[in-house]
Every structure is written in C-alpha cells, then in structure tokens.
Chain A
Amino acid sequence: MQFSALKKPINFLLFAISLLLQTACQLEQISLPDTGRKIVLNGLINSDSLIRVYVGKSIYISDSDGFVVQNLDNAKVYIYQNGLIIDSLQHDFKVINWGVFYPSGNYYSKKVKPLPGKEYRIVAKIPGLPDVSATAILPNPVKIEKVDAAEIRLDPSNEDALKCNIKFADPLNETNYYLVEVFYKYGDQITPIISERFTCKDPVVEEYLSDGEIAGGNLAGVVFSDKVINGKTYSLNLTIWRNPAHSGVGLRSVIYFHLYSISENYFKYIRTLNLYNAKFGKPLSEPVQVFSNITGGYGIFAGAAVSCDSLVFNR
C-alpha cells in the first residue's frame, strides 16, 4: 500500500483528535439560586475604644457591578448588657474603606467602652432584611510584664534593627488567644509599624495579620494561642527593622506594644479568613467557610482586651 493512500484517513484522524482537544475544557454557565440579601455586621470591639461596628449588606455572588462594601445608613443598632439596652449606636457617614480593619465602622457608641470579662449583645435591624444579632465576651487582659529591646545589625542587609521581647504570663487552666500589634510614634503621629519594619518568626505564632494595601503585604500583627505556653511566662520575639533611635535628630520617638487578649471567635475568624484567602480559586483545595457568629446574617462580632507597653527613644 502506498503511503499516499493513508493520507485521507490520517487527515481524518488528525482532524478528529484536534476537534477533541480543542473542544476539551470548555465552560458553560450555571445558574445559582438567589436567596436574597442579608445584613453584614463586623465589630471587633476592644477595651481601649468606644464600640464601633460596620453594618452593611451582602450582594449576590454574580452581581459583578456591585461593590462588596454596601454600607447601610438606616439601621437601628442596639447594644445590650444583661438583657438591657445600654446604647443605641449612632450612624457615621465617614466610613474608611482601607486598612487592616476594613471597612472601618459606620455605627458607633458615644459612651460604651467595653469592659474585660463582660458580655455584650448586639442587634441590628433594617427594614426589608432579616434582623441580625451576636454576642461577644471580652476576655480579661493579660498584662505585658516587660519589654526588652536590643539594637542589632541584620545580616545580610546590614540594616539596623531592634530585637524586642514582650514578656507576659499566660494564665493557667484556661485557653487564651493573643494578638500583638506594634505602633510607632514619631513626632505627633502614631502609625502602625509598616513597610517591612516588623517581623516575627516566633514559633508560637499561628496566624499573621498582613495587609497588602497599606503595608505591601507586610505584617500588621501576629496571632497565637496558648496551646504550647499554657500557664507559662513567655517572651515573644519580634524584630523591628526601622530603628527609631537612629531616625531624626532631637526628636522623641515611641514604640507602642499592644498585647490583646482576644476571644476564641476572633481567633477562629482570623484563622478561617487567612485560610480562605490563601486557598481562594485553588481547584485542588477544599473550599473554606469563613467563621461567622452573626445569627441571621454574616460577619463577626468579637472582643479583645488590651495591655500596653512602650519604648521611648530620646535624641
């Protein structure tokens, strides 16, 4: 048989194979049920601030035009303690949509600064949407016993830095969760330690607060539980790359260390949110459900109690 006689079948075969391969992995649209909108309530309350929460609403998954921050300005938001309303929150039009705490709250209390060990219940009502409620207990603060700092030179970048130890005593026989943030005051302005200035490779750290928008993907806080330090006095190690002692002449600068005792719900929220973001769109990973404790809606209402210490540098 001549080879040319095989050409037609081979051409057919090539055509058939190419048809198969070119049509493989195509997409078809699915319609998902639209079950209506719900209230989004985000409130991370702590013992050094007045209560401020964000109240918005969700959008349908395929609503490509809608911005996900859907503020609601007609909500009735109440704070309860021991079954009694202790405040009705005020609406604030100044909502800031950036920062680690995103978006910042659009409802605030003029008088209620949460107290450690107390339970607070929040209820939000908006016409046309199901009511939502949630409860948060502020843990008792764990005091920073001591902050040490030593000037070091980093290898191989040859930059000056501060190596800091935050010493605290974890209470025995109870599960505790912690969030550590570091702020820097230079002149009159207090800012978070940002721009690759704060690292923490301590083995107890379980989660990182990392904000790409304001910090170029760098660290804004670290989160951990006491599962390996339960009942012990522990010194958390962290490194602050920008040594304020060397910046500026004749100005006073301060580094503030905040040790928050956070609730388990707060910890769960951070953990699942980090995991959700890390696995987003990855087909071989199981999808992650972000923790929520809002009954009837979405979001988180959780509390933290703060303990502070600082290092002052005078030039």
Chain B
Amino acid sequence: MVKYIFSFLFLITFQLAFSQKHSISGYVEDLMTGERVIGANVVDNIGKNAVQTNNYGFYTLRNVGEKVAVQAIYFGNTSDIKELTLTRDTLINFSVRSVKELNEVVVVSSKYNNSVNNRLGFNNISVKQLTSLPALGEPDLLKSIQSQAGIKGGVEGSAGIFVRGGGGGENLFMLDEVPIYNVSHLYGFFSAFNSSAVKDIKLIKGCFPARYGGRASSVVDVRSLDGNNKSVKGEFSLGFISSRFTLEGPLFNDKTTFLISGRRSYFDLYSNSLKSLKILAKDFPDYYFYDLNARIAHTFTQKDKIYLSIYKGKDNIQNKNESSVMTGKSSMSTESSNETSGWGNLIGSFRWNHTNGTRLFVNTTLSYSNYNYFSDNNYVNIKKDTVSHNQSEKRMVASYRSNITDIMIKTDFDYALSNKQNLTFGAGNTFRTIQPGENHYLADNQEINEKIDTSYTNRIIVASEPFSYVEDEIKATENLIINAGLRLSGFLSDSHRWFNLEPRLSANYTVSPSLVFKAGYSRMVQYMHLLSSSGVSMPTDLWVPAANGLLPLKSDQINLGFGWNWGEKLLFSVEIYHKWLTNTTDIRDGMSLITDLAPWYDKTAQGHGISKGIELSVDKQQGRWKGSFHYTLSSADRIYSEINNGQSFPFKFDRRHDLNISVNYQISPRWDISAMWFFGSGYPVTLPVERYAPALRLWNYDTSAGDEIGYMPSRNNCRLPAYHRLDLGIHYKKTNRLGEHGISFDIFNAYNRHNPVNAHFYFYIPVYTYLLPCIPSVTYTLKF
C-alpha cells in the first residue's frame, strides 16, 4: 500500500515538475517596517493561482503564463497589483500592511482567507490578539496558548501546557527554530517569550508536518521580529510586576537591522520596603526574573540573508536570614542562612537564508541551547565567646544542580515543484550533554571536629539526536490537498542507539470555499523524558534521556474534523482526536526527584497513555465585536504495570470539560474592552478516603506517621473543585508627537474565585490550596 502511495506521489511530482512555464519568487514584506511576513498569500489574478509565504516570508509562484497580475494579501490587506509580461523567471518583492498596524481588520474573501483551510491541529495565534485580551500585568503567549481548544494549563503556580492528554515535557517550544527547554517565569505566571519581540506564533497539536520532531504532543513555533529596516522604533511598557522595552531599527543602512528587547520584574526591589513596613514576613523570599532578546539581521543580496539571535532568561529566588542571641553570660550565637534557587535558558542561533534560483529556498541553522536549574542552601552558626573571643563555626551547605545543553546544526530546503506541489526536506543533528541532577552536601562542625563532604551525581550523558525528513504538499485535485511526510530520527549515546521512522499524513478536502473536511495521522517520537515530581510542572523537573531502561516515548494520533466559514463572519472548527502514547514515564509511588538520592532511572516507571477528545472552536475576528469560543470534551488515562496495581488511572491533567470564551469590543479607535472566561472541570488528585489500623507500627519520626493507613482506592481517585475565572480588561490608546501611548487596566480573576492548586489534609479535613485572588493591574505602554 505504501509502495502505491509513493508511486502515485512520484508520478504527480514528475508530471507537475515538467509542465511549468515561468516562475515568480521573492519576499513579502511589511510596508511600514520591512519585516518579512509569514503566511501571506501571493495571488496571480490572471492565472488564478495562489501560494503562501513560508516562515521566512518567501514565496514561489510557478507555472504562470506570460502575462501576470500579482499581488500579496495578508489578513485582508493587499499590496499593489503588479502587472508584468514575463520572459524568464522573475524575482518580485511585495510590500503589504501588516495587521499589527491596523485598528480594524478589513473583511476579506474566504478564497484567500486560509483559516478555514488550516491543517488539522494547527492554530495561528495572532500577536495582535495577545494585546487585545485581558492579561495579568502584560500580554502573555503561554496564557493565550492555554486558552485554545485541547490545551490545558496545569494549575496556577505551575508552568507549561498539557496538550491532548500529553505531559508537560511533550511540547516542543521553539524560538526562531531553536528548542527552548523551560518557557516560564515566576512558576508559570509569565512565559519566557516577550510579546514585544514576537512576530508569529504557530501552535500545532496534531497532524504534525515531518519537519517537526523530538516531542510527542505539540509544537509551539515562535518567530521573533527581524527588526525594522525603515526607521528606529521602540516600545516601553511599565507594568505592575515587570517592565519591558524594545528597540529596533536599521543599523548603518536598511540592509542591516537590529532588535533588542528586555524585561525585568522588580518585586525584589521593593520587597525590603514591604518587609520593613511589616506588610511582608521578614523571611519572605526575594524574587526576580529577567529576559533579554537581541538580534541582528543582515541582507547581503536578494538571495542571502543572515540572522544572529541571542536569548537569555533567568529566574532567581533568594531567602536570607540572620539572627543573633546571647546563649550565656559571655557567649553569643549567630545563625545565618541563605537559600537561593534559580533556573534559566541561554540560547543563541545563527541562521542563513539562501535562495537558489526561483524554486529553492534554503535555511541553515546553527544553534546553542542551555537550560539549568540550581538550588543552594547555606547555613552557618557561629558561637563566639565575647570575653575570650574564641569562636567555633558550624557550616552546612546543600546544593542541587541539573543542566542540559544542545548544539544543533540543520539545513531545511523548500523546493517549489509547481504551484500545486511543494517539497520540503532537510536534515540535521543535535549534540546533547545532559547532567540529570547532582546533589552536594557539606557539613563542617568545628565544635566536634567533624567534616562531611559528599556528592551524589548522576552520570553525565553525552548523546546526539540526528534526523532527516521529507515532506510533500500536493494539491492533488482542485479540492484535495495532501501533505505526506516521513521523518527518520535517531538517538545515539554510548549505551543506546535508537532509530525510528515517523510517518505523517494529512489531507484537506474542500467541499465548498467555506467548508473543508480534514483528516490526518502522525507519529511522533521523543527521546527525552521530563520527570516531574507529583506531576506538577516545575523548574525542578528533570530532563533525562531514553537510556538506563527508559524507552523512547511514541505518540500515534489520528484526527478528523472540518472547518466551516459561516457567512464570512464566523469560523467554526471541529476536531476529533484519538492519541496513543507508548512509553510514558512517571514517578513511582513515594518517590521524589530531588529528595530521594536514588538515580532517576530507579525512581521512574514506564507505561502507556490513551487520550481522546472532541474540540469545538468558533472564532469571529472581524468587525468591532471580536471573540472566540473554545470547548473541549476529553479524557486522558495512564496505565503502568508498577503503579496503581497495574490498573488504569486518570492522567494528572485529565479534564473532562474545558471551556474558554473571550470577547473584545472596539468602542472607538481609542478605547476597547475585553473579557475572558475560563471553565475547567477539576483535575484529579490522590487523596485517602478512609483510615484504618496497620498490622505493623513502623513509626517514622520524620513524618510522624505510623499509627494509621490512609486508604486510596487508586492513584488520582478524587477531583479538585472546578476551575473558573473571569478576566476583564479595558485599553486606551492615544497618539501624540511622542508616539502612541496606551494604558491597560486589567482585572485578573474578577470575581475572586478561589481556584484549587493542590489538595491535602489539615487535621483530617481535606482542604485545597488556592493562590491567586482578584488582582487588578495597570500597564502603561509607549510606542515610538
């Protein structure tokens, strides 16, 4: 069967490749900034052909006649029509106004409005939409992703997303094609992506193209701005918790652009004032995060452009204490402690875009990505005799570190065989160094002359993850578009060698211009596992490779659905998915990643996961009233032979009903208001429901347990109360000679719902903890 499919594809390829006439290719750029536009349509009004720009704004329109009338269209904005008589292959660049600059989107014909044609599982998240919805302090990419159908956001205070029953570590976050391991600040309240520096966001949760791999459940492809090549522009924003700035413009000439964008929280700067006013407890920790994006892009010729990008982000939490007491007439004891922990990413990339003729676009990427987590605890007790000045010191140090570094090189080719067929292929390798956790303890007690210096270190693992892929998008008939692909991936370490083939297939069948039926299948293989204590996604989670008994994670997903554009106003989308996860990883009963000193592979168990669901989306993105409705009905279960007596149990982030409704109303060109409401049925938790006497009283002094047993029928046997929250926002903007001033007033959790974070017992009464009450915030933004 596979043989016939590939023969069929080859014949179509052959026929289409040799029946073409002339080609037009080039870039579509933003009229105001020179920024290359992703996903714009280039249309030949005479030949009635249309193609879309790729991730670098490049297009190829092939097989056109001698006379063409071409223009670029992007979300209803059109470039000038260029009428030409062609005698050979020609390079044409277009300038189009980007939607980001508009107050209101113009209605556009559905023929070139590609939302309804989006492949199953694809979501394009508008950067403008980020700023038009209520936010906690500032627009946030992760929060916006969490509001999409099929995506769950974990609990407040934990990072990450959970896509279609997948785990927190099964999502490939890419910033300018470089994988980024930790995407959150402040335990998930802010994402690591600074929205001021973002150009385009794609979320893929099924029917994955073959160019993506390495994670089992989703891809979040974030592209940052190249930098304005017309003039120096900037943005400054002062918020409740953090502030940010962005500066971009041409450097020396319009061929070279720069962009620098930074953000920092400042709670640590005023926490001392709060402590001195006794509003905060003395031992309340100081916290800050920052991130910095810098980029230089240089266009050598129409054919060559390079990008150099750097991202650095860090979270730091510190708690310092010192106290002295007189312990006798002449002896003083001084205790000081300093607990610091933090996590951060450092990524850098060099990319080179090259076009060869009008057909072939080549992108080569060399990148570096590092994620590290550290925790240091220092305790010093000095006993000093104030008369004799003799002193003794007791010092204890406990530290923990984990680290992962990737160096990746890859080349992607985009080859336009015709207007009806596009071939994408490429290969690359990631060289990876993994340090999965190191504990170090130092105790130095001068009083009894005792010194202990011990390290428990997991072996550093060096591995490589090569891949190659080919992907063919064919417009087989006027109504049928097929995307077929195959990815070969591998993982090579000194002890293991894995190779896997990952087939991908999706098809869109257009019944009418406003109704498209879709189907697809994809297999994804993941060679890195994210181990998470208690299932909550935290910076302490540990990335470990498929080694020491752990097998690679595989996901197989089938999807069915349709998109319906109703009266050019509402876009309906329905998707059904069924996903099988093989070799999911979980922590064994009673194990903890950090506090248990056993190696990580002794703390884990592997099993299977099954998830299924139906997602319904309704979007209205035109007119003064805009809004969206996303509902998901789903279930996600796990089965492990070593957990829960081999019985199936609900996944930690299984949520039966998930609903998100958002609306935005443009009152006037200056004012708009927005509201967003979330509802999700409660996440499962493991809680005992009865108590009984043990046969053996094995008392544990550490936990004061041993007199009774709490009976839990199964893992994740109970459900937390439902999560719901209303966020409100009102935005005002005004332009004067300084630039565009904007003020946003937002209320997070407007009706002060106490949303559950976790559950435990408090004197035999089951209780849940909640974190975030109603929080108002004001943000001032100046764009110049």
> Does B740 touch A at the CB level, under 8 Å?
no
> Taking A59-B691, A285-B533 as contacts, is the C-beta distance between A18 and B279 under 8 angstroms?
yes
> Does A56 touch B at the CB level, under 8 Å?
yes
> Does B623 touch A at the CB level, under 8 Å?
no
> Does A90 touch B at the CB level, under 8 Å?
no
Q: Looking at the assembled complex, report how far the CB atom of B755 sits from the nearest CB atom of chain A, in whole angstroms.
A: 10
With the chains together, A167 CA to B588 CA distance in Å?
34
Contacts of A284 in B (CB 8 A): 533-534, 592-595
Contacts of B707 in A (CB 8 A): 68
> Does A155 touch B at the CB level, under 8 Å?
no
> Taking A278-B700, A288-B589 as contacts, is the C-beta distance between A35 and B754 under 8 angstroms?
no
A-contact bits for B699-714, CB 8 A (1 contact / 0 none): 1111111111111101
Contacts of B765 in A (CB 8 A): 29, 62, 64
B776–A16 CB distance below 8 A: yes
Interface residues of B in 737-772 (CB under 8 A from A): 754, 756, 758-772
Q: Looking at the assembled complex, report how far the CB atom of B768 sits from the nearest CB atom of chain A, in whole angstroms.
A: 5
Partner of A212, one of B701, B759, B761: B701
A-contact bits for B201-229, CB 8 A (1 contact / 0 none): 00000000000000000000000000000
> Does A174 touch B at the CB level, under 8 Å?
no
B690–A69 CB distance below 8 A: no
Interface residues of B in 413-455 (CB under 8 A from A): none
CB-nearest residue of chain B to A63: B764
CB-nearest residue of chain B to A39: B692
B695–A287 CB distance below 8 A: no
> Does A213 touch B at the CB level, under 8 Å?
yes
Interface residues of B in 703-745 (CB under 8 A from A): 703-712, 714-715, 718, 720-721
> Taking A61-B690, A102-B696 as contacts, is the C-beta distance between A217 and B769 under 8 angstroms?
no
Contacts of A280 in B (CB 8 A): 700, 703-705
CB-nearest residue of chain B to A279: B590
With the chains together, A228 CA to B781 CA distance in Å?
67
With the chains together, A21 CA to B204 CA distance in Å?
36
B-contact bits for A61-81, CB 8 A (1 contact / 0 none): 111100011100000000000
A290–B709 CB distance below 8 A: yes
* Binding stretch for chain B, among A107-115, A180-188, A267-275: A267-275
With the chains together, A60 CA to B689 CA distance in Å?
7
Partner of B769, one of A13, A27, A275: A27
Interface residues on B, range: 35 or more
A32–B769 CB distance below 8 A: no
> Does B693 touch A at the CB level, under 8 Å?
yes
B703–A289 CB distance below 8 A: no
> Taking A17-B274, A30-B759, A279-B703 as contacts, is the C-beta distance between A274 and B698 under 8 angstroms?
yes
CB-nearest residue of chain B to A40: B692
B273, B588, B703 — most chain A CB neighbours (10 Å): B703
With the chains together, A24 CA to B592 CA distance in Å?
25
Interface residues of A in 5-48 (CB under 8 A from B): 13-14, 16-35, 37-38, 40, 42-44
> Does B688 touch A at the CB level, under 8 Å?
yes
> Does A99 touch B at the CB level, under 8 Å?
yes
User: Is the contact region of chain A dominated by helix, strand, or loop, or is it mixed?
Assistant: mixed
Contacts of B701 in A (CB 8 A): 212, 217
A19–B773 CB distance below 8 A: yes
A273–B690 CB distance below 8 A: no
A-contact bits for B247-288, CB 8 A (1 contact / 0 none): 000000000000000000001001001100101100010000
B715–A99 CB distance below 8 A: no
B690–A59 CB distance below 8 A: yes
Contacts of B587 in A (CB 8 A): 286
Partner of A289, one of B644, B697, B721: B644
Contacts of B594 in A (CB 8 A): 284
CB-nearest residue of chain A to B719: A30
Q: Looking at the assembled complex, report how far the CB atom of B536 sits from the nearest CB atom of chain A, in whole angstroms.
A: 9
B770–A18 CB distance below 8 A: no
> Does A255 touch B at the CB level, under 8 Å?
no
With the chains together, A70 CA to B708 CA distance in Å?
12
> Does A236 touch B at the CB level, under 8 Å?
no
> Does A193 touch B at the CB level, under 8 Å?
no
CB-nearest residue of chain B to A275: B590
> Does B591 touch A at the CB level, under 8 Å?
yes
CB-nearest residue of chain A to B707: A68
With the chains together, A59 CA to B773 CA distance in Å?
35
Partner of A286, one of B270, B588, B769: B588
A59–B700 CB distance below 8 A: no
Contacts of B693 in A (CB 8 A): 40, 42, 54, 56, 68-70, 102-103
Q: Looking at the assembled complex, report how far the CB atom of A227 sits from the nearest CB atom of chain B, in whole angstroms.
A: 14
A30–B705 CB distance below 8 A: no
Q: Looking at the assembled complex, report how far the CB atom of B382 sits from the nearest CB atom of chain A, in whole angstroms.
A: 26
> Does B493 touch A at the CB level, under 8 Å?
no
> Taking A26-B770, A37-B690, A279-B590 as contacts, is the C-beta distance between A269 and B762 under 8 angstroms?
no
Contacts of B364 in A (CB 8 A): none
A211–B695 CB distance below 8 A: no
B699–A29 CB distance below 8 A: no
A20–B775 CB distance below 8 A: yes
Partner of B703, one of A34, A102, A269, A281: A281
> Does A101 touch B at the CB level, under 8 Å?
yes
Query: Can you list 22 residue pairs at the A/B interface with Cβ under 8 Å?
Result: A14-B274, A18-B279, A18-B280, A20-B775, A28-B767, A30-B721, A38-B690, A61-B691, A61-B766, A63-B764, A68-B691, A68-B708, A69-B693, A101-B696, A210-B699, A213-B697, A217-B699, A278-B703, A280-B705, A286-B533, A287-B688, A289-B589
Other A-B contacts than A21-B274, A298-B709, 9 sampled, CB-CB below 8 A, are A26-B754, A61-B689, A61-B691, A61-B766, A101-B695, A209-B698, A213-B699, A284-B592, A286-B588
Closest 9 CB pairs of A and B: A212-B699, A280-B705, A42-B695, A102-B697, A277-B700, A18-B279, A275-B590, A68-B708, A288-B590
